[in-house]
Structure 1
Amino acid sequence: MHRSLPRASALLSALLAAAPAFAQDITLPLTARGNEPFWTVEAAAEGLRLSEPEGKGTVQTLPFTQSTEGGSLILTTTDFTLRIDPTLCRDNMSGMPFPFTATLTRAGTDQSGCAGNSAGLLAGDWTVTDLNGTALPEGLDITLSFADGRISGSSGCNRFTGGYELTGEGLTLGQIAATRMACPPPAMETEQAVLAALSAITRFDIGREGTLLLQSDEATTVLSARR
């Protein structure tokens, strides 16, 4: 049995160098999902496992071969092919962003979906550029950092910290705790607006050039940030 299983990152690192700023390296394991019809493919070095509602699909783990085309990774079994493209994907039901676009091809039919880990798009250090659609005043440094279920940063005057949860439906921030240093009125007013914006966040998206868009229930962007 022939299997070609080198790490995808080694094969794709040069090809992904010119990919958009939000892109992550395509590495295994990863999960790809599609809606209407619903399907899930769990891809790991041991093989690919396709699951569909009501027990349909390939329940056993199948060996695969892999190849690349441009910046894309193509995983092929005897039953289906999974193509992973390094382009941002949004779940067509929840709107949740994912780092990769997936295409499942089976019996000559293509089914689209998303792949990868949304948390990787959110994780890291960010500098806020806009608050409620308005650019921040010059000289005011507002930062955000997401890591391991915790958010921290500076609200322009004080430091803050709290927890967050990322689910298939959106982004939820827990109670935010902040230091209580006094600052000049303009900075304090901006800080209160920042903390109010944080409490309103229910989802996130990735905009042009990799901008982080933190949004409320109405999909209104309350904070924009760049790495």
Structure 2
Amino acid sequence: MKFAHVLFVPALLVSGAAVAQTSDTSYKAVGTEPGWALTIEKGLIRYVGDYGRTRVTAQAPVPRPSFNGLRYVTPRVTIDITRSRCSDGMSNRDYPDSVTVTVGRRTVHGCGGEPIVSPPRATVIEGKWEIQSIEGRPVRGPRPATIAFAGDRINGNSGCNSFGGSFRFERGYLTAGPLMSTKMACMGPAMAQEQAIMRLLGERLSASTNREGKLVLSASGLRTLVLVRSGPAPR
């Protein structure tokens, strides 16, 4: 996990990190190794850790001001939100906050707030890509998992079956489908990987490029496809 610390004037820190205080707003944070996701909304704290094996739901108390941020303390979970720019370590997207979550004797670190990104132009997604990670986990399999965008058409291979169809790209959001796929049976992890890819492509995905030029397609939390270009960008 990479952290780039930037300090702000203390008088501004509460308003910056206080987005999680009101019932009308939602605050989200994520982390990796192991994967976890946190949401504070509608008076509730929801934490999912260890790739889903740990789940905690608690009433959200009024946060306490802390140095350059806020702290939530409950009997089951403690959350520290610090106004310090943060990189999530997997997709390399930047966030405005560094977040620490303690559940029992376990403490994890991650990033929170809305990602600091600029939506790419439609031409940025065009071309051929290799899927590097799915939902925070590296792609594994006998064949590469790929996606290609051309005009309004999408096609690719999950590492098991080929798929294709149409897509729309509007205001930084990708909507694919309906998609058709071949029906070859694949064993074990290859089939689970295909199901994860097709499940994500069935949702409306935000699209952004990170500092390394990779394309990040995001549904929510750690549910992302990270793509690396496998050919020259179209001119």
Task: Bin the TM-score by the shorter chain.
Answer: 0.3 to 0.5
The structure number with the bigger radius of gyration is 1
Greater relative CO, 1 or 2 (CA 8 Å, sep 6+)? 2
Identify, as 1 or 2, the structure richer in strand: 2
Given the two structures, how large is their TM-score scaled by the length of structure 1? 0.46
